[in-house]
Amino acid sequence: MNTKTVFSIQYNGIRYQVREIRYSSDYVRYDILQNRCVVNSSRFLTKKSAVLELLQLVRLNVIKWLQ
């Protein structure tokens, strides 16, 4: 089992990450983390869709902060 961070950003003191967990060459799972806590975990996410979902989460937090 190999784990690596694919994408990481920090906004307003909160750290967001997309983590890739590779169990074998065929089975890969992507986790979306917020301050080291898993927000979403799915083996059906691709690398690109996990990063886009993370950016959507940050965008919603920015909108909340602006209101």
Task: Check pLDDT > 90 for residue 12.
Answer: no
Please state the pTM of the whole predicted model: 0.85
When pLDDT is cut at 50, 70 and 90, the band that residue 25 belongs to is confident
| Strand pairing category for 37-42 and 28-34 | antiparallel
C-alpha separations of 32 from 29, 41, 46, 66, 67 in Å: 10, 6, 12, 23, 25
HSE (side-chain half, CA atoms, 13 Å) at 65: 10
pLDDT, tens only, 27-64: 999 999 999 999 998 889 899 999 999 999 999 989 98
